[in-house]
A = this chain, B = another copy of it.
Amino acid sequence: MSIVVVGSVAFDDVTSPAGSVKGVLAGAATYFSLAASYFTQVRVVAVVGEDFTAEHEQVFQRRGIDTRGIERAKGKSFRWGGTYGENLNEAITDFTHLNVFENFDPKLPAEYADTEFLFLANIQPKLQANVRRQMKAVKLTGCDTMNFWIQGARHDLTETLKLVDVLLINDTETKMLAGESNLPRAAQKVLALGPKALVIKHGEYGATIFFREGAYGIGRHPFRAPALPIEKVIDPTGAGDSFAGGFMGYIASQEEVNREVIKRALFYGGVMGSFVVERFGTERLQSLTREEIDERFQIFRELTHLD
């Protein structure tokens, strides 16, 4: 089955203790698309500027990603620059130039209308809701957001969350959205806002999924997937979006959405997040094989598996 992703396609300048790169193809929709493309057919909705060349488009097309939803606008693409220090947990933003992304008004190509899975990457919650409403055949919608919208557009965000099946955010965002410092209690408060499930990404500690009572016939028991302890992190940018790509892509590839599929999806999310950080930008995601992915899935599985 197919999945539509709406979000940013950008060019990043990144500095980390491992070195630095300039103008590499990036953005949430790019990381998500590439990660999900190993599992299912991906359709992108984004806006780019005149600096987005045929060569950049080929990065998507080589992975079989449908780029008909990438709108071309006059001007430059979204550009972001960031620097990671020794601990690599958080980037210091050097600059954010929204450029053509500032007036992004996502338009769905008619050919995308029958898509059954949707991922709303981190953009203005109102735009997320608009996209969701345009998609009539959707079976499952995933959604990301960030502190900026939680604090600055809470009303829009809570309206959007009513339309969302699975929200994927991190610990800090969960606590902020719920106004509650205990994570499982915060999770229940977030689920009360609408989503059937909440995936909380813990960075190097993995991720936990909490379910609303009765959602997917699953009950409230959470499930946790570990992350592989990684010795060589080159560039953490895009880890969360790649996690979402692995998670949503795997779900979209399955006949049915049930607890076992969601559990495996959480592992595949961690796997894709662990690959992307091994190189700058999207480089690692451009040339993986399904065999490498499944091999790492087994390592993740064994990491916490009792006989």
Chain A residues in contact with chain B, CB under 8 A?
Answer: 86-88, 181-185, 187-188, 202, 204-206, 208, 210, 221-226, 229-231, 233, 260, 263-264, 267, 299, 301-307
Taking CB atoms, residues of chain B closer than 8 Å to A260 are 306-307
Cβ of A231 and Cβ of B185 under 8 Å apart? yes
A88-B182, A183-B204, A267-B306 are known; give 18 further A-B pairs, CB within 8 A: A87-B181, A185-B231, A188-B231, A205-B205, A205-B206, A206-B224, A208-B229, A221-B299, A221-B302, A221-B303, A223-B303, A224-B229, A224-B303, A224-B304, A260-B306, A264-B306, A301-B306, A305-B306
Query: Which residue of B has the minimal Cβ distance to A204?
Result: B183
Instruction: Enumerate the 8 nearest inter-chain pairs by beta-carbon distance, A residue then B residue, closest first.
Output: A205-B205, A184-B229, A304-B304, A87-B181, A184-B231, A224-B226, A86-B181, A224-B303
- Per the bound structure, the CA–CA distance linking A181 and B231 in Å amounts to 10
Taking CB atoms, residues of chain B closer than 8 Å to A202 are 205
A selection of 15 A-B contacts at a CB cut-off of 8 Å is A86-B181, A183-B204, A184-B230, A205-B205, A205-B206, A221-B299, A221-B303, A222-B229, A224-B229, A224-B304, A226-B304, A260-B306, A260-B307, A263-B306, A305-B305
Query: Which residue of B has the minimal Cβ distance to A185?
Result: B231
Smallest Cβ distance from A298 to chain B, in angstroms?
Answer: 10
Taking CB atoms, residues of chain B closer than 8 Å to A188 are 231
- Per the bound structure, the CA–CA distance linking A305 and B226 in Å amounts to 11
Query: Which residue of B has the minimal Cβ distance to A231?
Result: B184
Smallest Cβ distance from A220 to chain B, in angstroms?
Answer: 11
Cβ of A231 and Cβ of B303 under 8 Å apart? no
Taking CB atoms, residues of chain B closer than 8 Å to A306 are 260, 263-264, 267, 301, 305
Cβ of A222 and Cβ of B182 under 8 Å apart? no
- Per the bound structure, the CA–CA distance linking A254 and B278 in Å amounts to 40
Smallest Cβ distance from A205 to chain B, in angstroms?
Answer: 4
Taking CB atoms, residues of chain B closer than 8 Å to A301 are 306
Taking CB atoms, residues of chain B closer than 8 Å to A87 are 181
- Per the bound structure, the CA–CA distance linking A230 and B208 in Å amounts to 13
- Per the bound structure, the CA–CA distance linking A184 and B274 in Å amounts to 14
Which of B181, B183, B304 contacts A223, CB < 8 Å? B304
- Per the bound structure, the CA–CA distance linking A181 and B17 in Å amounts to 12
Tell whether A303 pairs with B222 under 8 Å between CB atoms, given A202-B205, A206-B205.
yes
